[in-house]
Amino acid sequence: MVTDRLDRYIARNVLGAILVVQVVLLGLDLVISYINDLDDVEGDYGAFQVLLYLIMRLPWRFYQYAPVGVLIGALIGLGSMASSNELTVMRAAGRSLTRILWGVMKPIILVVAVVLIVAEYISPRTEQFASAWRLEQMQGEGAVVMQRGGWQREGDSVYRFGAIRADDTVVDLTRYRFEGRQLREATVAERAVWRDGAWVLEDVAMTRFEEGRTEAEHLAEQEWETSLTPAQLNRLLRPINSQAPSELWAYARFLNDQGLQATQPLLYFWQKMLMPLTMASLVLVAASFVFGPLRTVAAGTRVFYGVVTGLCFKYLQDLLAPASTVFGFSPIWAVLAPTLISAALGFYFLRRTG
């Protein structure tokens, strides 16, 4: 019974600190982003609309800051108990370091569950809705949802997409059809419209390249034979880091089916799916700071080292991400390597404390 109460007490302190840190981080980010985005005021998109847009994006920001929030929150929660000698009393009463760590890990399980739910079901939808709402405020109904273009290969054809509108209309589509290495046809369409379960190209300029001659043709409409659906095109043109794990896995399978590299979607997929291990390793680092070499320093110093550690963790993942493409190793190792290094350092310092 006493053991359960101590676990709940540790969990309450750590979880409370994590929530406070998350609120502070999100608040600071909201204020800074609001000031920066005031330069984008246009049409019906005023200062109040900027604030609404940033509030819509809070689930995505929550997911982004979750690892850092867990690291700093665990540092503050454990550090406050260390400063008041509560951890010393617990250990003097015979409570092992392992048992204390288990009490810290319990609220992390809850945080991980919330983060995974946000990543899969909430943030992808709020990001898409926020982008559509913002552009419709700036440009009116039917505004372009995606401003970035994209390239995609399908069979013997290579496509360039300008953008996709809120009504699933593709704007500025170009298709290059090859036979082996030889370009045989180039098609430029002003729009591609989804009608009755099929794509129709509008205002089409087609150029055929035969041996020794070139033929040009202009069509008002033409059927576009493709396996790509509006949902798949939205996935292709949306920012990949904001997509749900299930969407990233489907995107990776689609690229593999086309014989293309799926490094980038797999990288973000494993980042999201291995989030529990990431957070656990950062909690170990936080605990090692409190029980290990930084146990005698001020709380502010521990938080500073925690922020530096979190930044180093992020930068290492960011460096390994392109390295997985250049050197050809699996994207899962770009995510696992920093996690395993953090966990190893945490275990090392904790073992030294006995």
At 83-119, the pLDDT tens digits run: 888 888 888 888 888 888 888 999 999 999 999 999 9
Place of tokens 């939205």: 234
Question: What pLDDT sits at residue 143?
Answer: 53
pLDDT, one tens digit per residue, over 162-185 is 877 767 788 889 999 998 888 999
For residues 16 and 156, membership in a common domain is answered with no
Q: How would you write the chain as a 3-class SS string?
A: CHHHHHHHHHHHHHHHHHHHHHHHHHHHHHHHHHHHHHHHCECCECHHHHHHHHHHCHHHHHHHHHHHHHHHHHHHHHHHHHHCCHHHHHHHCCCCHHHHHHHHHHHHHHHHHHHHHHHHHHHHHHHHHHHHHHHHHHHCCCCECCCCCEEEEECCEEEEEEEEECCCCEEEEEEEEEECCEEEEEEEEEEEEEECCEEEEEEEEEEEEECCEEEEEEEEEEEECCCCCHHHHHHHHCCHHHCCHHHHHHHHHHHHHCCCCCHHHHHHHHHHHCHHHHHHHHHHHHHHHHHCCCCCCCHHHHHHHHHHHHHHHHHHHHHHHHHHHHHCCCHHHHHHHHHHHHHHHHHHHHHHHC
Q: Residue 53 domain-assigned?
A: yes
For the chain, the domain total comes to 2
Question: What pLDDT sits at residue 1?
Answer: 54
Q: In a 3-state reduction of DSSP, which class is residue 186?
A: strand
Q: Residue 69 domain-assigned?
A: yes
For residues 158 and 186, membership in a common domain is answered with yes
For residues 92 and 155, membership in a common domain is answered with no
Under-50 pLDDT residues of the chain: 147
For residues 221 and 267, membership in a common domain is answered with no
Identity (one letter) of the amino acid at 146? M
For residues 157 and 131, membership in a common domain is answered with no
Q: Residue 242 domain-assigned?
A: no
For residues 188 and 215, membership in a common domain is answered with yes
Question: What pLDDT sits at residue 147?
Answer: 47
Domain assignment of residue 125, given as a range: 5-139+263-353
- Cα R_g (the chain), whole angstroms: 26
For residues 175 and 200, membership in a common domain is answered with yes
Q: Residue 258 domain-assigned?
A: no
For residues 12 and 133, membership in a common domain is answered with yes
Question: What pLDDT sits at residue 176?
Answer: 94
Q: Are 321 and 330 in contact (CB under 8 A)?
A: no
Among the candidates 228, 246, 277, a domain finishes at 228
Q: Are 41 and 130 in contact (CB under 8 A)?
A: no
Q: Are 60 and 1 in contact (CB under 8 A)?
A: no
The count of C-alpha atoms lying within 13 angstroms of the C-alpha of 38, restricted to the half-sphere facing its C-beta, is 8
Q: Residue 207 domain-assigned?
A: yes
Closest of 143, 192, 141 to residue 171, by C-alpha: 192
Q: Residue 310 domain-assigned?
A: yes
Among the candidates 168, 202, 228, a domain finishes at 228
For residues 126 and 220, membership in a common domain is answered with no
